[in-house]
Structure 1
Amino acid sequence: MSQSIVPATEEKQLDTSPTLTFEEYRFYKVDDEIKHELHRGQLIPIAMPTILHINICDYLVYKLQHHLAKNNLDLVVKRNWGVRTEENSSRIPDIVVCTKSLLEQVAARPGGAVLDFDETPLLLIEVVGKDRRADYILKRGEYEQANVPEYCIVDPTENRQRVRVMAFPEGDEVYSQVDYLPGEDIVSVVFPNLRLSVDEILCPPLVERLIKEEQRRLQELRQSPTTERQRADREHQRAERLAAKLRELGVDPDSV
């Protein structure tokens, strides 16, 4: 009987990816267009996002920017900024909310747009992709250790749809979490007046459509003959005509 011979040892594939320090990573350039995070010195490629992933991020940026403008908050919302989480680790959240002063600080120095240890963002949002473990476990631990006040995970995965909001309870150093499910509105800890529908987050309308609707409403308001100012002008003119009529009748309108 013949018998196949199996090698006693198998050849192991060597990891040829470069090991980088945080400073080297800030200036590191790759030939392709794939973005890379840095995890303990190793470059981690980020998978190309799906259309749904992109639409969710666009919608959240749109809603956050409107909320900041409406409440006159000196904050900015950015996509694909780096956030340093460990000595030689840096993540690229889908959405970063930070102060305008931090934006200017990062813009003034050379290298990639990465927030350093002493440049803590207020809110980070990740939309779950292929690497669920990274979003739910690894990044949660890193953002918690970096003292990020609020971390949100948007999970559009079928049968697992939720928005998880993690933040520090008052006086605590460990994240607490609340899961918001379809049919509910999420409540942000950093922005308590902001309410967002889980249904709309998970299946968002196109931002382009929202902008068109907004422009249409503004145009209708400009063309409407019943604006508040016009109504006030008409009331003033009516009062002036009545006063003139009373004077013709010999009645002082101020004494009426």
Structure 2
Amino acid sequence: MVQLKQRFQSFEDYLAYDDGTENLYELFNGELIEVPPESGFNVETANFLFAVLLPLVGHRRLRGHGLELEVRGEPRNRYPDLSVIYENQIEPLRRRNTLRILMGPPMLVVEIVSPGEVQRNRDYIAKRSQYQDLGIPEYWIVDPQTATVLVLELRDGVYCEAVTFSGGDELRSLQLGPLNITAQALLNAASSQTEDT
């Protein structure tokens, strides 16, 4: 990650900043840290899940890695690999694809774990805590290393491990219902061995 010298006193100052690029940044202790591009594996897996969710929620409610979530703590923003937003959040996101805390949480977020201990801790611990704090009802952690899809459900303000899918288990969203694909099909999405759905 490349750290920039720009310093911001508030999240509003950060939102007003435009460096003229399409780069994504995390705001950490008032400083910008450029978010590196996602791996091809993560993008292909997220795109596959996007295609599966598309008939269930429509293209306007699905957001890829470019959706920025304002969160409490550091960094002050996150970019989930995939999100499902509510209908009433579509219009406010037209100007800037940033979901502010005051706009309410998305319905569902998905993170695809990249290799490495830092990345695992970020998805399983740091993001889990921040997404729980936002009140996101459902958080999926797609983990290629363990070949599992962990679904966390918000109950009384705390994430509980609702279900872990693997192998031939049919994926099911707590918010949206059955997805008609297996965990293995999703985990194979970035390879040439993807199951037919």
Tell me whether the two structures share a fold, i.e. TM-score over 0.5: yes
Q: How does 1:202-221 map to 2 (within 5 A)?
A: 202-204=187-189
Name the residue aligned to 1:144.
Answer: 132
Name the residue aligned to 1:173.
Answer: 157
Name the residue aligned to 2:176.
Answer: 191
Residue 162 (1) aligns with residue 143 (2): no
Q: For the residues of structure 1 that align with 2:125 and 2:93, how far apart are their CA atoms?
A: 28
Percent pairwise identity = 26
Residue 44 (1) aligns with residue 33 (2): yes
For CA contacts below 8 A with separation 6 or more, give which structure has more relative contact order. Answer: 2
Matched residue type, 1:126: E
Question: Unpaired segments of 5 or more residues in structure 1?
Answer: 1-14, 214-256
Q: For the residues of structure 2 that align with 1:167 and 1:185, how far apart are their CA atoms?
A: 18
Name the residue aligned to 2:107.
Answer: 122
Select the structure that is richer in helix. 1
Q: For the residues of structure 2 that align with 1:196 and 1:45, how far apart are their CA atoms?
A: 34
Name the residue aligned to 2:50.
Answer: 61
Select the structure that is richer in strand. 2
Q: CA deviation at 1:75?
A: 6.1
Q: CA deviation at 1:28?
A: 2.9
Q: For the residues of structure 1 that align with 2:54 and 2:69, how far apart are their CA atoms?
A: 20
In the alignment, is the contact (CA less than 8 A) between 2:111 and 2:123 conserved in 1? yes
Q: For the residues of structure 2 that align with 1:47 and 1:202, how far apart are their CA atoms?
A: 22
Name the residue aligned to 2:83.
Answer: 96
Q: CA deviation at 1:192?
A: 2.2
Name the residue aligned to 2:122.
Answer: 134
1:110-162 Cα shifts (integer Å, max 9, x gaps): xx4110112221011111125221111100000000001111111113xx221
Q: For the residues of structure 2 that align with 1:140 and 1:44, how far apart are their CA atoms?
A: 20
Question: Would you say how many aligned residue pairs link Structure 1 and Structure 2?
Answer: 184
Question: Unpaired segments of 5 or more residues in structure 2?
Answer: none
Residue 106 (1) aligns with residue 93 (2): yes
Q: How does 1:230-245 map to 2 (within 5 A)?
A: none
Q: TM-score, normalised by structure 2?
A: 0.80
Q: For the residues of structure 2 that align with 1:65 and 1:91, how far apart are their CA atoms?
A: 23
Matched residue type, 2:86: T
Name the residue aligned to 1:223.
Answer: none
Matched residue type, 1:23: E
Q: TM-score, normalised by structure 1?
A: 0.63
Name the residue aligned to 1:10.
Answer: none
Q: CA deviation at 1:41?
A: 3.0
Matched residue type, 2:68: G
Question: Of the two, which has the highest radius of gyration?
Answer: 1
Q: For the residues of structure 2 that align with 1:189 and 1:43, how far apart are their CA atoms?
A: 35
